[in-house]
Structure 1
């Protein structure tokens, strides 16, 4: 039963990250303070806004793939031991990696 919980969390987060990123990838979200990457550099110009957000979304989509695989794999695994359960449950924290990559990328502007 725990595996299903882990699977649902990871698959949902992976799909959510991809779905939320599609409008940015298509450059359809205008500069705002609610939705998007909020680095100082991204607000300096509209060009920066689109470049930084598009880069972040690409990285987020790439890092969503492991989440989807972890979720799918969790469905077929025997009951997880406590360590693996914790690791798989916190896998959505993988979103920190593209956030750091995007911050480093934004410093180029």
Structure 2
């Protein structure tokens, strides 16, 4: 079964950054954004494309001064585009106290998460 995905990482990252202006904690020096998708498995190219888009957006936002003076930082989490790994990846985001996420890339992992 071919995975379903949407490639709008730059727009998503920019939207997240705009939302962070009001939601970021006052004590954090960096704002972490989870980037959840396949870094292993048969469809790693989709995860690579999303990460490249997010990295570009974060680079541009940070170069412009960040969000309220705080730099954005991507935290890459692998779900392998596998439904069984979706909840594992989502739990890593929650347990790491990451409040913002771009991903999952594949519908199977998204639904399971």
Q: Please tell me whether Structure 1 or Structure 2 has the larger radius of gyration of its CA atoms.
A: 1
Higher relative contact order (CA 8 A, sep 6+): 1
TM-score w.r.t. length of structure 1: 0.33
TM-score w.r.t. length of structure 2: 0.32
